[in-house]
Amino acid sequence: MTRASVAGGLAVVMLLLSACASIRSVGSRLTGPPALDENAFARKRITTYRVPDPPDATVVGKVGSHRIRSGETFFDVARYYDLGYNEIVEANPGVDPLLPPVGASVVLPTSWILPCCTYDGIVVNVPEMRLYFYRHPPGDGRQLLVETYPIGIGRTGWRTPRGKFHIRRKTVNPKWVIPESIRQEHIKEYGDDRHSIAGGDPDNPLGKYRMELSLPPFSIHGTDVPWGIGMQVTHGCVRLYPEDIQRLFPLVPVGTRVEFVYQPVKAGRRDGVVYVEVHRDVYRYGGPSYGRAFAALTRQGLDGGVDGDLVKDALRSSAGMPFRVSPGGAPGRAARVAGRPS
């Protein structure tokens, strides 16, 4: 058994021990997806949203649903709909992620508020475990194309950094030269004393593509363990699903601006409606609170159009999805909020 498979098995066991739960069901609006296997993952759809530059609306996507079929797990469903494990679990408390009931309709939290307030290059919101990529269509500086991908981040003790960087180098089939501190960890935990792992090796945690940051040794790369997307599993780097990094890699030139932010509370607007989106404080830098929610709203000039009680409801109930906090109308998640796909 490889080091990666041992680590993967242990991680799944730990996940089962820490899983929590309260079932919620919604009517299925998405029908007929293919069998959720590697072929389906390779062909899955990634939506590109088109917004003005700068955005006058910062909520994209819409919440969907999926009806569980025999043999499917949350790992499969999350990957097919380009979600992280964290996102689908938080949106469906009470549903067993490894043995969801056949026929159960699960929420797909495929609506997001864009992190404030940089809309250029790559932006990673660390507590959300999600990457946003912005670029202009050819010859059009007034519009932005936006894509967003789930990621894996650094575990406790190996935190993914915050700050502004750029892409300094890109590599296909990168060789992993193992830092000595990580090598000693591998020796202790797995009896693995390798100094490096060749590009293309199935045990190589960098996967097939790596984009190195201007802060060595950190990078954005693929993975040999796709189940780790939406988890704290790395030594500080950012991991993407293999099919996601394959799509993103050719779109990102060397020199692209990169910013890693830490926003457990995001605020945004679409069609005059204000939303708040809440995520766990994974590194305990300062979690979601009423004060931080209003600070996020104030930063974008949205504090004058909200109901304080709805903000409190959002802090309790957001489940990682945009939650309406404007007065009037029915409050709740942005189930029908659609970005403008390109």
Catalytic residues: 221, 237
Q: Which of 223, 175, 170 is nearest to 198 (CA)?
A: 175
Output b/e per residue, 295-318; b: 16+ Cβ within 10 A: ebbeebebbeebeeebbebbbeeb
How far the first Cα of the chain sits from its last, in Å, is: 44
Phi-psi sector, 121: left (phi>0), alpha (psi -120 to 50), beta:
left
Residue 307 near residue 276 (C-beta atoms within 8 A): no
Give the span between the Cα atoms of 237 and 209, in whole angstroms: 13
Residue 244 near residue 78 (C-beta atoms within 8 A): no
Give the span between the Cα atoms of 243 and 144, in whole angstroms: 23
Q: Is 212 exposed, middle or buried (0-12, 13-18, 19+ CB in 10 A)?
A: buried
Residue 63 near residue 109 (C-beta atoms within 8 A): yes
Q: Map tokens 């489940």 to a residue.
A: 319
Phi-psi sector, 13: left (phi>0), alpha (psi -120 to 50), beta:
alpha
Give the span between the Cα atoms of 204 and 213, in whole angstroms: 19
Residue type at position 89: V
Q: Which of 184, 280, 169, 292 is nearest to 235 (CA)?
A: 184
Residue 157 near residue 149 (C-beta atoms within 8 A): no
Give the span between the Cα atoms of 32 and 5, in whole angstroms: 32
